[in-house]
């Protein structure tokens, strides 16, 4: 987004401009002092038009469980997320670091890791060894950083990238066979879901990857959600299935311009209960509602940041005059 100026009959007129799906959009800000009065309205209008245009594109995707109002909310989230990155690059960097710490601590805590958010921050940011905590718990948190760096390079989800993720998540836990499909039965404690037989895992995973390839016309939130539910039902590894599955979920979403979905102790019960329900009934598409609600929470956080700093953003634009 930027301000341009044009000479018309000897007078200088200013315009707020941006691009929507490759097409330029331009809103007149008038002359001189008129810019001050019109820029906020023009800024909001451009973002609304971008959201509506992107909404129309998203409607062309296959959708089963997300409403129109939710689709529009998702587009506004992506726009605000991109604005945060565009106007505050340094702030965005620290925002992403905070996001990752919350994600890493949350994802491991769901599996029983006892490190608090503050302790996880010390491990990830300072490399601190936390007194009174098991080395394995510290290693689990550290490994989340390794897998996230690897995820930044991933261009597509396939068996090779999934096994690589798992090998990094379980780095240092050789007895749990990092990066290798299990060769023994698996049981999910307290769940009615029965994971695939060990002998069937390679075939089931191959089928899941083929399913992913054939369903790329689905909305990314629904695609990522359904893949996650199907992956966790197979439970292809001896350990680390949840952390691997949640990383895949976020890789798919981040490639489409979304922030990370954070699953932690606050929403763990809902996550597990709904995951089990959709797996038993084979209604995998219904898991997208949970993912949407997680993203909606992120949308509220990011919108508040944008609202609180809109005057600063407008000042940055006006400096271009």
Q: What are phi and psi of 26, to 5 degrees?
A: -135, 130
CA distances to 218, 279, 299 from 241, rounded to whole Å, are 24, 15, 27
Residue 97 lies in a domain: yes
Q: Are residues 148 and 286 in the same domain?
A: yes
Does any domain span residue 315? no
Across-strand partners of 6?
A: 13
Please report whether residue 166 resides in a domain: yes
Residues 26 and 157 in one domain: no
Q: Residues 227, 304: one domain?
A: yes
Q: Tell me if 303 is assigned to some domain.
A: yes
CB of 41 closer than 8 Å to CB of 27: no
Distance CA 38, CA 228 (A): 45
Q: In sequence order, what are the residues at sequence separation of 6 or more whose Cβ sits closer than 8 angstroms to the Cβ of residue 233?
A: 193, 195, 196, 279
| Domain match, 82 and 155 both | yes
- Are residue 39 and residue 135 in the same domain, yes or no? no
Count of Cβ atoms closer than 10 Å to residue 13 Cβ? 17
Asked if residue 63 is part of any domain, the answer here is no
Both 102 and 204 in one domain: the answer is yes
Same domain, 37 and 165: no
- 239 shares a domain with 90: yes
The rounded distance, in Å, linking the Cα atoms of 55 and 74 is 9
Give the model's pLDDT for residue 32.
82
- CA proximity to 107, closest of 232, 283, 289, 277: 232
Pair of tokens at residue 33? 């002092």
CATH number for 198: 1.10.3290.10
Please count the structural domains in the chain: 2
Q: Are residues 144 and 193 in the same domain?
A: yes
> Are 117 and 261 within one domain?
yes
Domain limit, last residue, from 29, 58, 87? 58
Per the confidence metrics, is the pTM higher than 0.85? yes
The pLDDT tens digits along the chain (321 residues) read 899 888 888 888 889 999 888 889 899 989 888 888 899 999 999 999 999 999 999 999 999 999 999 999 999 999 999 999 999 999 999 999 999 999 999 999 999 999 999 999 999 988 888 888 999 999 999 999 999 999 999 989 999 999 999 999 999 999 999 999 999 999 888 888 999 999 999 999 999 999 999 999 999 999 999 999 999 999 999 999 999 999 999 999 999 999 999 999 999 999 999 999 999 999 999 999 999 999 999 999 999 999 999 999 999 998 876
Coil, strand or helix at 269: helix
**In a domain? residue 321:** no
With beta carbons less than 8 A apart as the criterion, state whether 31 and 12 touch.
yes
The predicted structure's pLDDT at residue 64: 93
Residue where a domain stops, chosen among 58, 79, 99? 58
Encoding tokens for residue 284? 């995998």
Residue 321: per-residue pLDDT? 62
Point out the domain boundary residue: 12, 39, 58.
58
145: its two tokens: 């950083």
Residue 44 belongs to domain spanning: 2-58
Whether residue 319 is contained in a domain is answered as: no
- For 248, half-sphere exposure in the C-beta direction (CA atoms, 13 angstrom radius) is 30
Q: Are residues 14 and 94 in the same domain?
A: no
Give domain status of residue 84, yes or no.
yes
Alpha helices in the chain (DSSP H): 34-58, 68-87, 89-110, 117-121, 135-151, 159-169, 201-214, 220-234, 241-255, 268-281, 288-308, 310-318
Q: 316: burial class by Cβ within 10 Å (0-12, 13-18, 19+)?
A: middle
Both 84 and 40 in one domain: the answer is no
């Amino acid at each position: 987004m930027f301000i341009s100026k044009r000479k018309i009959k000897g007078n200088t007129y200013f315009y707020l401009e941006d691009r929507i799906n490759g097409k330029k959009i331009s809103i007149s800000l008038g002359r001189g002092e008129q810019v001050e009065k019109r820029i906020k309205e023009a800024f909001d209008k451009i973002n609304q038009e971008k959201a509506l245009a992107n909404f129309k594109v998203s409607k062309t995707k296959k959708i089963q469980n997300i409403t129109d109002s939710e689709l529009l909310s998702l587009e506004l989230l992506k726009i605000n997320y991109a604005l945060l990155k565009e106007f505050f690059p340094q702030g965005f960097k620290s925002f992403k670091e905070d996001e990752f710490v919350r994600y890493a601590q949350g994802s491991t805590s769901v599996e029983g890791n006892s490190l608090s958010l503050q302790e996880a921050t010390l491990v990830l940011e300072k490399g601190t060894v936390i007194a009174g905590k098991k080395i394995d718990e510290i290693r689990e948190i550290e490994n989340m950083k390794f897998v996230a760096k690897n995820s930044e390079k991933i261009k597509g989800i396939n068996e090779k990238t999934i096994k690589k993720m798992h090998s990094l998540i379980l780095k240092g836990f050789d007895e749990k066979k990092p990066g290798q499909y299990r060769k023994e039965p698996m049981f999910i404690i307290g769940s009615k879901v029965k994971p695939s037989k060990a002998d069937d895992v390679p075939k089931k995973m191959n089928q899941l990857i083929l399913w992913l390839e054939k369903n790329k016309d689905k909305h990314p939130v629904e695609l990522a959600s359904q893949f996650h539910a199907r992956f966790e039902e197979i439970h292809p590894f001896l350990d680390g299935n949840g952390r691997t599955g949640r990383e895949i979920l976020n890789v798919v979403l981040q490639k489409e311009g979304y922030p990370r979905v954070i699953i932690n102790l606050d929403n763990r019960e809902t996550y597990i209960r709904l995951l089990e329900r959709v797996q038993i009934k084979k209604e995998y598409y219904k898991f997208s509602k949970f993912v949407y609600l997680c993203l909606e929470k992120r949308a509220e956080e990011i919108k508040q940041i944008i609202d609180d700093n809109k005057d600063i953003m407008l000042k940055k634009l006006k400096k271009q005059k």
